[in-house]
Amino acid sequence: MIDLFSGLDAWVLVSLLLALTFVLAFEFINGFHDTANAVATVIYTKAMPPHLAVFFSGVFNFLGVLLGGVGVAYAIVHLLPVELLINVNTGHGLAMVFSLLAAAITWNLGTWYFGIPASSSHTLIGSILGVGLANALINDIPLGDGVNWQKAIDIAMSLVVSPIAGFAVAALVLIGLKWWRPLSKMHKTPEQRRKLDDKKHPPFWNRLVLVISAMGVSFVHGSNDGQKGIGLIMLVLIGIVPAKFVLDLNSTTYQIERTRDATLHMSQFYQRNAATLGEFLALGKAKSTDLPEKFSCNPQQTEPTIAALQASLQGVTDYHALDAEKRVEVRRYLLCLDDTAKKVGKLPGLDAREKADLEKLRKDLTATTEYAPFWVIVAVALALGLGTMVGWKRVVLTVGEKIGKQGMTYAQGMSAQITAACAIGMANVFALPVSTTHVLSSGVAGTMVANKSGLQGGTVKTILLAWVLTLPASMGLAAGLFWLASKALA
* DSSP letters spanning 22-87: HHHHHHHHHHHHHHHHHHHHHHHTTSS-HHHHHHHHHHHHHHHHHHS-SHHHHHHHTTS-HHHHHH
Lowest model confidence (mean pLDDT) among 8-17, 201-210, 332-341, 470-479: 8-17
- pLDDT above 70: residue 248: yes
Judgement on whether residues 222 and 270 belong to the same structural domain of the protein: no
Q: What is the mean pLDDT of the chain?
A: 83
Burial (CB count <10 Å: 0-12, 13-18, 19+), residue 390:
middle
Radius of gyration over alpha carbons of the chain, in Å?
24
Judgement on whether residues 132 and 264 belong to the same structural domain of the protein: no
pLDDT in tens, 133-142: 888 888 777 7
Judgement on whether residues 206 and 315 belong to the same structural domain of the protein: no
Confidence of residue 319 (pLDDT cuts 50, 70, 90): very high
Q: Looking at residue 91, what DSSP letter applies?
A: H
**Which residue type does 102 have?**
A
Rounded Cα gap, residues 41 and 397, in angstroms: 9
Judgement on whether residues 408 and 303 belong to the same structural domain of the protein: no
350 is a domain residue: yes
What mean pLDDT do residues 58-69 have? 88
96 is a domain residue: yes
- How many CB atoms within 10 Å of residue 257? 14
Instruction: Please list, in sequence order, all residues whose beta carbon lies within 8 angstroms of the beta carbon of residue 236, skipping any fewer than 6 positions away.
Output: 16, 19, 20, 23, 97
- pLDDT above 70: residue 346: yes
Judgement on whether residues 280 and 399 belong to the same structural domain of the protein: no
Judgement on whether residues 166 and 281 belong to the same structural domain of the protein: no
187 is a domain residue: yes
**C-beta of residue 221 within 8 angstroms of C-beta of residue 61:** yes
Q: Which of 341, 365, 389 is the last residue of a domain?
A: 365
Dihedral angle sign, alpha carbons of residues 331, 334, 338, 341: positive
Quick one: CA torsion of 213, 219, 225, 230, rounded to 10 degrees? 180
**C-beta of residue 332 within 8 angstroms of C-beta of residue 83:** yes
Judgement on whether residues 224 and 297 belong to the same structural domain of the protein: no
Give the range of the structural domain holding residue 455, as residue numbers without chain letter.
12-244+375-489
CA 8 to chain centre: 29
Bridge partners, residue 404, by sequence: 455
- For 207, the 3-state DSSP assignment is helix
- How many CB atoms within 10 Å of residue 154? 18
**C-beta of residue 103 within 8 angstroms of C-beta of residue 246:** no
Nearest-CA neighbor of 23 among 75, 76, 85?
76
pLDDT in tens, 450-481: 887 766 666 667 767 777 788 888 999 999 99
Burial (CB count <10 Å: 0-12, 13-18, 19+), residue 351:
exposed
Lowest model confidence (mean pLDDT) among 41-50, 116-125, 399-408, 412-421: 399-408
Judgement on whether residues 251 and 240 belong to the same structural domain of the protein: no
What mean pLDDT do residues 214-218 have? 91
Judgement on whether residues 233 and 255 belong to the same structural domain of the protein: no
* DSSP-assigned letters across all residues of 2-29: GGGGTT--HHHHHHHHHHHHHHHHHHHH
3 is a domain residue: no
**C-beta of residue 400 within 8 angstroms of C-beta of residue 190:** no
Q: What's the pLDDT at 91?
A: 67
The model's pTM: 0.82
Q: Which of 336, 365, 394 is the last residue of a domain?
A: 365
Q: Which of 365, 389, 420 is the last residue of a domain?
A: 365
What mean pLDDT do residues 309-318 have? 92
Judgement on whether residues 337 and 382 belong to the same structural domain of the protein: no
* DSSP-assigned letters across all residues of 387-456: HHTSS-HHHHHIIIIISBSSPPPHHHHHHHHHHHHHHHHHHHHTT----HHHHHHHHHHHHHHHTT--B-
Number of domains in the chain: 2
Rounded Cα gap, residues 226 and 382, in angstroms: 10
333 is a domain residue: yes
Percent of the residues in the chain that have a pLDDT greater than 70, as a whole number: 86
CA 390 to chain centre: 22
Nearest-CA neighbor of 256 among 309, 302, 295?
309
Judgement on whether residues 277 and 386 belong to the same structural domain of the protein: no
4 is a domain residue: no
Query: CA-based diameter of the chain, in Å?
Result: 82
Judgement on whether residues 275 and 198 belong to the same structural domain of the protein: no
472 is a domain residue: yes
5 is a domain residue: no
